[in-house]
Structure 1
Amino acid sequence: MAKRATVKQQDFGLAPSEARKVRANASLISTAAQYGVELAQYLTRINLQTNVVATGRLGFRAENDLPTAARHFSLHAAQAAEMSRLLQAWDLGLSDVELRELTHSQADGSQSKFWFPFGVHRDGDGQTHPLAFTEESSGTQSAFVLLSRLLPVLAEGGLAVIDEFEADLHPHMLEPVLDLFAHPETNPHQAQLLFTCHAAEVLNLLHKSQVMLVEKDARCQSTAWRMDSVAGIRTDDNFYAKYMAGAYGAVPQL
């Protein structure tokens, strides 16, 4: 059963008497937005990019995700240039990424157009060879699609919510992706990234206050706690090593 939280607000704009009427399983912010509270309406209009829907994480499907991401980049030239620069910098063997508008013929003879990415590779003789992204590795494909969700919030501000952030990515790619949000040069509008991750290596890339640990018990009930609430934890601890040793909990017993 959901527990009712104590409502504390200052200059929020929703009368305390109305705030106390909010259902235990309802959002205070969304309820306040319905009452016309300006700050709440601003928060509900935030630029949100995510791979999560009501049924959970959207599984990667190259035939849908690659054209969708390519179409986004075709409409945003600055983000497309940044995407290409990042993929080249991440040592994926690419010298550029081309976006092409292709034509698909339907069974009834009709035609439709769609955008698709091609990776440009340079051989030892300096010749370039475009390769459809369906022929690239799953890591390269995932990085391309991930950037189509991250670069819009970095460019405009907002929130990216990514489930299984590390899916198909090499562990060494996690740090440069997180760095995009850590530096004002690449995140001038203070966009935020909220993600779940099974790669424990990411613990040493974050501050203890940025980490939520989740553990499921034998009754299939999950408990979450912030890592800096664990007694005795130090900022200079090796979070990865201690987590793997079971010092913080949230380690599956297999």
Structure 2
Amino acid sequence: MVFSAAQLIRRDGVTATGLREVAAHAGAPRGSLQHYFPGGKEQLVNEAVEWAGRYAAARVDRFVAAMSRPTPGGLFAAMVRQWTDEFRSAGFAGGCPVAAATVDCADSVASTRAAADAFACWRRPVARELAAMGVPSRKAGGLATLMVSALEGAILMAKAEQNVRPLTTVARELGPYLDSCVESGQEVVQDQVGAQGEHGGAGQAGDQAGPAGSAVQDVPGEGAQAEVEGRAGGHVGESQ
């Protein structure tokens, strides 16, 4: 049910997503919503937002794992391509459920806090991976915020324009800057690690995937349910 709520919110927004619609999407009896979510719609929305933050964080790990030579620009390209792939294949109806909840629930302290926590959950692995790539730790957190903020803005512009151009533009323009933030000397270390992986076979997945990583084909829509069941926690598994 949490998964279903997230999918409906990202498509229709919070206001248009009712408990009846969530129950129908999840194939669950309406009574189960009252049982698992005694706090009503607000509780369900907040848990869906928290789930979305955990999902986005898990995707970061998958993107990096699919790259033979991880770079900040390559990670950002993978984050962007996840959305360009979805928009090109499924249209522009979907969006980020965290952003939707932030806008629609601006008057709710609990909901805005849940959205802020979801964005923080997403930024943490980005900052961690940037530091592992050689970005100074004092700078990694700020760059993670820049990457997430730029992506969210580009998603919104792409939906408004019904065109992926804002996404491809931000990836092209921001990527070189992100790569320039790697400390001098760290590039050599990354190349050595990548070369060892290629000779040992560990780099094959990333080589086949291209510079952005192969995991981006799993867009954050309804086809992602099998991947996240059991990981998301909450009531996702109970609704199936």
Q: TM-score, normalised by structure 1?
A: 0.26
Q: If each structure's strand is expressed as a fraction of its own residues, which one has the higher value?
A: 1
Higher-helix-fraction structure: 2
Higher relative contact order (CA 8 A, sep 6+): 2
TM-score, normalised with respect to structure 2:
0.28
Q: Who wins on radius of gyration, i.e. which is larger?
A: 1
